[in-house]
Amino acid sequence: MNLPQSVPRLSTLQLLAWALPSMVLMLSMVPVNAVLPTLYAQHAQVSVTAIGTIFLLRSIYDAVSDQLIGYLSDKTRTRIGARLPWIIAGAVVTLIGMLMLFRIPSDAGVLYFSIWTLVYFTGATMVGIPYFAWGNELTSDYTESSRVFAFKSFFDNVGSMSFSLIPMVVVFFGVMATTEYTLEMIWLLGMIVMVAMPVTLMGAFFIAPRGKISNAPRTTLIQLFHSVKDNRPFHRFIVAYIIAGTGYGFFVALVYPFVSNYLQIGEAFPMILLVTTISGLVSVPVWMRIIPKLGKHRAWGWGWIFNSLVLVPMIWVEPGESAIIPTAIMMGLYGFTNGVSAIAPFSILGDVVDYDRLRTGIDRGGNYFAFMMFAVKMLGSTGGIALIVLGSVFGYQLAEGSVNTPFADMGMLYMFILAPGVFQMASVALIWNFPINRRRQDIIRRRLESLDARTVLAEKQAEAA
């Protein structure tokens, strides 16, 4: 579909420069959510239940910090744009927290893990919320916005793939003896992020467009409250996203212990994760062809349906080396069917932001993406619920040398394979007939462009007078 003449198409180089920082942030975030909890339980005197509790308490902190950063980002105006100052400062905080988290002292304990987890996610919030809002400001077109977030999805998958690939590369060159995520391997990953994040941010600063910032009045906290309260499409979107994402939070928290402890194929985990992320990469152009045909919401719904079913055959996979191939195949299918979830929701939320601006006359993109960022991190924290239930109800142990009972193994199996799908299937009805489709979004954009043109004309007339 051709873009309207008033909406220029972003170049591949511009989108590449904008998307690369997301790849590096993902390279740091995957181990924080998926591997570090297990390593702290194994090596740093932190129990599974304590880790789960920390992740849940962090979500309470995020409820405040995410909205505050989104609110301040929306109000920021500088010579380098509204979003970049927050992204640069957030990158510094993220790197400090990451370095301390990735350095795992044997006597770290609960307090150490709590403090540096908080620092890391504060920085990630300062980067992530303005970054999403910046992406929404790059274009006003329904289809082009999907292209923007498809680039982000692609490089998120490259970041995840790098997390899988780096252990294989360092073993190939004889730097390390095993591909397992040991303390030394995690520290090496941290050093790579330390170098890559400043480099990619410089590329984004000099090459990516700043994005179009609305000339509309800035929001207040009371106006924000009423805006969110009265925005029914947003209610529907965020409820569906939270329910489905709870299942994904379970998946992320349990995938490493499931493969390493339950299936007993820890050395194969980088290869399995690599297959998953390559499948996600391959899926991006496929979903980009499907989304314009079905619409963002329907494509997302079909993705949820298929994604909920692909891991079910894992119930019949026996632990041991024979599990490597079937696990890699099913995880590959999981990555492919989940690819749409890295494109559609961000683009749909951009449509919701436009709807709110047309309705209220105020651009609250930062705050709406802050709500979503909070949901993303809260859903990561739902993995804490999974770990608490796994440890306290089923008695599952992750410490080195521990032996789990059949009941504990059953808990791990069903919480990893079935629970995520149950949550996703429950969300399909909410998103299937989402009210802002292509036709309605085109109407919204035309009215916004007319409103912006009148605002600019009025400002010029006032200056002339």
* Closest-CA residue to 303 (of 338, 346, 333): 338
For helices 48-75 and 365-392, angle between their N-to-C axes, nearest 10 degrees: 180
Say how far residue 411 (Cα) sits from the centre of its chain. 26
Say how far residue 208 (Cα) sits from the centre of its chain. 21
Of residues 143 and 392, more confidently modeled: 392
Q: What is the residue extent of each domain of the chain? A: 20-209+216-464
Environment class of 103 (CB within 10 Å of its CB; exposed 0-12, middle 13-18, buried 19+): middle
What confidence tier does 39 reach under pLDDT thresholds 50, 70, 90? confident
**pTM across the whole model:** 0.68
**The CA-based dihedral angle spanning residues 448, 454, 457, 461, taken in that order and rounded to the nearest 10 degrees:** -140
Give me the amino acid identity at 460: K
Determine which of 141-145, 210-214, 260-264 has the lowest per-residue pLDDT on average. 210-214
Determine which of 188-202, 233-247, 301-315 has the lowest per-residue pLDDT on average. 233-247
List Cα–Cα distances, 410 to 47, 245, 248, 273, in angstroms: 20, 23, 19, 23
Mean pLDDT on 252-272 = 87
- What confidence score (pLDDT) does residue 215 get? 52
State phi, psi for 413 to the nearest 5 degrees.
-60, -50
Does residue 6 surpass a pLDDT of 60? no
Mean pLDDT on 270-290 = 88
Determine which of 207-221, 301-315, 325-339, 386-400 has the lowest per-residue pLDDT on average. 207-221
Determine which of 47-56, 87-96, 353-362, 432-441 has the lowest per-residue pLDDT on average. 47-56
What confidence tier does 437 reach under pLDDT thresholds 50, 70, 90? confident
Does residue 321 surpass a pLDDT of 60? yes
Mean pLDDT on 427-434 = 89
Of residues 160 and 94, more confidently modeled: 94
- What confidence score (pLDDT) does residue 5 get? 47
Alpha helices in 103-220 (DSSP H): 109-137, 142-172, 183-207
Round the average pLDDT of the chain to a whole number and report it: 84
H or E segment at 407? helix 406-417
**Alpha carbon distance 406, 248 (integer Å):** 25
Does residue 71 surpass a pLDDT of 90? no
Residue range 20-209+216-464 forms a domain whose CATH class is mainly alpha
CB 135 within 8 A of CB 152: yes
Does residue 92 surpass a pLDDT of 90? yes
Q: pLDDT tens-digit profile of 339-380?
A: 898 888 888 888 888 888 888 877 777 677 777 767 766 666
List Cα–Cα distances, 448 to 71, 109, 140, 156, 445, in angstroms: 22, 53, 9, 31, 5
- What confidence score (pLDDT) does residue 216 get? 52
- What confidence score (pLDDT) does residue 214 get? 53
**Alpha carbon distance 250, 204 (integer Å):** 33
Determine which of 20-34, 138-152, 323-337 has the lowest per-residue pLDDT on average. 138-152
Mean pLDDT on 403-426 = 89
CB 449 within 8 A of CB 140: yes
- Copy the structure tokens of residue 285: 């152009």
Mean pLDDT on 172-184 = 87
Does residue 2 surpass a pLDDT of 70? no
For residue 173, give every residue at least 6 positions away whose Cβ sits within 8 Å of its Cβ, in sequence order, or none: none
Determine which of 80-94, 168-182, 349-363, 444-458 has the lowest per-residue pLDDT on average. 444-458
Mean pLDDT on 13-31 = 92
Does residue 431 surpass a pLDDT of 70? yes
The number of CA neighbours under 13 Å toward the Cβ of 159 is 24
Environment class of 223 (CB within 10 Å of its CB; exposed 0-12, middle 13-18, buried 19+): middle
Does residue 25 surpass a pLDDT of 70? yes
Of residues 65 and 63, more confidently modeled: 65
- What confidence score (pLDDT) does residue 116 get? 93
- What confidence score (pLDDT) does residue 137 get? 80
